[in-house]
């Protein structure tokens, strides 16, 4: 895994989402990322990140915590493949993912 960094986060609290089908948004391309959102039996929100940009753990923590505070969602698992997206792009993709599952029944 040389060159890549794996980060794992878990946030507690928030409202459990209604059942939804997994959704994928974004693309693993330079300055971009893909976000896969799936339902989870856990009550919280787990977010796993694979990123090609090492050393940005605190920034990911801040961006993902902000995401969880804004949406307050639980019962989901988020997996991210990142190729150096900026924090703003990450936030937009996460919002897009929530919009995608809101609009799609299982």
Binding site for another protein (CB under 8 A): 1-4, 22, 24, 27-29, 32, 34, 36, 38, 50-52, 79, 81-83
Q: 47-66 burial by CB neighbour count: b if 16+ within 10 A, else e?
A: bebbbeeeebeeebeebbee
Report the nearest approach of another protein to the CB of residue 33 (Å): 8
Report the nearest approach of another protein to the CB of residue 89 (Å): 13
**Complex with another protein: residue 12 or 41, whichever CB lies closer:** 41
Q: What is the CB neighbour count within 10 angstroms for residue 94?
A: 25
Report the nearest approach of another protein to the CB of residue 70 (Å): 24
**Complex with another protein: residue 74 or 82, whichever CB lies closer:** 82
**Complex with another protein: residue 9 or 51, whichever CB lies closer:** 51
- Residue whose C-alpha is closest to residue 98's, from 26, 9, 13: 26
Which run of H or of E encompasses 10? strand 5-11
């Amino acid at each position: 895994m040389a060159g890549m960094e794996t980060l794992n986060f878990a946030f507690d609290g928030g409202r459990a989402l209604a059942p939804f089908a997994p959704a994928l948004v974004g693309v693993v391309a330079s300055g971009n990322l893909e976000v896969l959102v799936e339902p989870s039996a856990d009550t919280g929100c787990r977010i796993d990140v694979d990123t090609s940009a090492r050393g940005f753990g605190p920034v990911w923590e801040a961006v993902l915590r902000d995401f969880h505070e804004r949406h307050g969602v639980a019962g989901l698992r988020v997996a991210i493949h990142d190729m150096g997206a900026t924090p703003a792009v990450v936030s937009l993709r996460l919002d897009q993912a929530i919009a995608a599952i809101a609009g799609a029944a299982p």
